[in-house]
Chain A
Amino acid sequence: MLRHAMGRIALALPVLLGVVLVGFLLMQVVPTDPATVRAGPMASAEVIAAIRSDLGLDQPLAVQFGKYLWRLVQGDLGVSIINNVPVAQELGNTIGPTLELMFASLVWSIPLGIGMGTIAAYLRGSWADRAIMAVSVAGVSVPVFFLGLVLIWYVGFQWQLLPFTGRQGPLWTLDGLRAVALPAITLGGVFVGPVARMTRTAVLETLSADHVRTARAKGLSETAVVLHHALRNALIPVVTLIGLQIGFLLGGAVVTETVFSWPGVGRLAVGAITSSDFPMAQGTIIVLSAGFILVNLTVDLLYGVLDPRVRGA
């Protein structure tokens, strides 16, 4: 088990370092000179040169990367060139809301998807199966922003049921819960489909397995057979596949945050890129990538715990 874990971590580290290197190189190849941007359009050449040496931009690349890495380890991601706020501080403010949105989206969509997939597999070929699969295909095909805009138009604007811009407090307050509802329905809505499809395939496989037949033969109720014998064994691949879909969820989160003006990392990243705020863009991309790598690693390790057969691989 420990060897499996160590191996996985050893694989994740170089990828993480690669992300940081790409993030650093990003700053080198950008066509816009950060010193010029910060100095503003009216600045003289001397002022730009002073800012450049101030930012350490006149030193060799390797030195810059070393210093950059050292600052990164200390949690210093630089300063926004638009509003001079430290990138780390801005990220600290936005990570919470992003995690909140992801949690609120997954907490209902994963159980619903697993339930739908199990029912579809159990009633294979019936109208219920076909209806569930039709909903899933629609779910994987709908643009996240479309779903979001439709919800804003009907639930938020026409029926005035729920707010649709920004966050209004933590999840455990009523206002916070109301504010997260529409974004969470949007992001979770596009996640139900893939989960249902994966669960259906996995449960179909276990339903025809020998141990399920044995369970039926010894007279267990259908509920017990499906829930304890078929679904439980199907959950292992489903958990992994859900973990692997985190990248998909991340993309959805970036769009959802933009549509609902949710103050998360994704919206921060998009804003930074469109306004050429390179330190901020770099910081957000590194944090999003690191988060993604971390989730993948966790899923890998979890898989090792759930399924002893993987450990050797």
Chain B
Amino acid sequence: MSATYVARPTVLRLVLRDAAAAGSAAFLALVVLAALLAPWLAPFDPYETDLMAVMQPPGGENYPLGTDGQGRDMLSRLLFGLRVTLLMGVTSLLAGGVIGVSIGFIAAYWRRVDGLLMRLMDVMLSFPAILFGLALAAIFGPGLIAVVIALSVATVPLMARIARSTALVVMAQDYIEAARATGMGDWRLIRRHLAPNCVAPLLVFSTLRLGQVILLGSALSFLGLGAQAPTAELGAMAAQGRTFLFFAPHISVIPSAAIFAIVLACNLLGDALRDALDPKLRP
């Protein structure tokens, strides 16, 4: 137990010492806060059109980030768009993560089903997320539900693999043997000893995966297969701006740059966390 007690502050300190990682963490916190407080922060209704003020460039008095092709305030749409995009990403990550981690733990704990479960994961892994997205959009019709299901399904095998390999290492530790010797039941053992000791690598991967999921989800929305107009979602907003690219590039650029920044922050933070947890991989 003393190992985890010492390790935690060290990891935190290592991450905070890395300027890029600390900046990323702060930025992500800010983004989440902005998304949560969108209704209070947004100066306008994100769906209210003002046909007298279409395609206003950023920097205006009323509209700091300008307006889109229908005269909707870009700042308000960005804030509400963050909500939808983050919610889409987090929901997919959580759904895929919970199912994937459960499968990974089951495979590591009950070795009889290991082979079967992992072959199943291999089959799922052999199918790219974008094709899942296309297929589900074809079945259910384009929409956020199809995107979230596709991204969750694509996350399951990745999470299962990492959970399994981490759990196998933990399972070989003496304290698991000791806990078992005290007559602890399977579920209690998994909950009290196995799961808490697998959290760190899973958290690292989740950070990286959140970035990928947001990137994929916004790409599907950009293609018109995810969030539908007039929903303010970053990928869909970028797609709507395409029509006005040559007159008002900011309509596409602002939401695209926001996605870029969020994904970059997830990747930088994830990399730093991984390096802090596994110094062997550090450059």
Contact = CB atoms under 8 A, between A and B. Distances in A.
Interface stretch (B71-79, B93-101, B125-133): B125-133
B246 A157 contact: yes
Interface stretch (B27-35, B52-60, B164-172, B258-266): B258-266
B139 interface: yes
B260 A30 contact: no
B126 A293 contact: yes
Interface in A265-286: 269-270, 272-274, 276, 278, 281-282, 284-285
Say what secondary structure dominates the interface of chain B: helix
Interface in B114-155: 123, 126-131, 134-135, 137-139, 141-142
A286 to B, nearest CB: 10
Interface in B204-250: 211, 215-216, 218-219, 222-225, 235, 238-239, 242, 245-246, 249
Contact of B126 (A141, A276, A296): A296
A29 to B, nearest CB: 6
Contacts of B135: 22-23, 26, 285
B223 A250 contact: no
A18 B126 CA distance: 12
Given A146-B256, A255-B219, A258-B223, A247 B130 contact: yes
B271 interface: yes
A269 B264 CA distance: 29
B37 interface: no
Interface in A19-34: 22-23, 26, 29-31
Interface size class of B (residues with CB under 8 A): 35 or more
B138 A149 contact: no
Contacts of B267: 137, 140-141
Contacts of A185: none
B263 to A, nearest CB: 4
A274 B225 contact: yes
B276 to A, nearest CB: 16
A143 B142 CA distance: 20
B138 A282 contact: yes
B222 A143 contact: yes
Contact of A29 (B139, B242, B257, B259): B139
Tell me which of A26, A143, A144, A255 has the highest count of chain B C-beta atoms within 10 A of its own C-beta: A143
Interface string A281-307: 110110011001100100000000000
Interface residues of A, number: 51
Contact of B245 (A23, A149, A272, A293): A149
Contacts of A143: 215, 218-219, 222, 235, 238, 256, 259-260, 263
Contacts of A140: 267
A251 B218 CA distance: 12
A254 B132 CA distance: 13
Contacts of B252: 149
Contact of B224 (A157, A270, A285): A270
Nearest to A258: B223
Interface in A212-259: 246-248, 250-251, 254-255, 258-259
B243 to A, nearest CB: 12
B196 interface: no
A280 B239 CA distance: 23
A145 B141 contact: no
A138 interface: yes
A251 B219 contact: yes
Contact of B129 (A150, A157, A247): A247
B273 interface: no
The residue in A157, A254, A278 that gathers the most chain B C-beta atoms within 10 A of its C-beta is A254
Contacts of B127: 247, 289, 292
11 contacts: A15-B126, A30-B138, A125-B283, A129-B283, A138-B264, A142-B260, A146-B253, A251-B128, A284-B134, A288-B134, A292-B126
Interface of B: 123, 126-131, 134-135, 137-139, 141-142, 211, 215-216, 218-219, 222-225, 235, 238-239, 242, 245-246, 249, 252-253, 256-257, 259-260, 263-264, 266-268, 271, 283
Given A137-B264, A145-B219, A292-B128, 12 more contacts: A137-B267, A143-B215, A145-B235, A146-B253, A153-B249, A247-B127, A247-B128, A247-B130, A248-B128, A254-B130, A273-B142, A281-B134
Interface of A: 15, 18, 22-23, 26, 29-31, 124-125, 129, 133, 137-138, 140-146, 149-150, 152-153, 157, 246-248, 250-251, 254-255, 258-259, 269-270, 272-274, 276, 278, 281-282, 284-285, 288-289, 292-293, 296
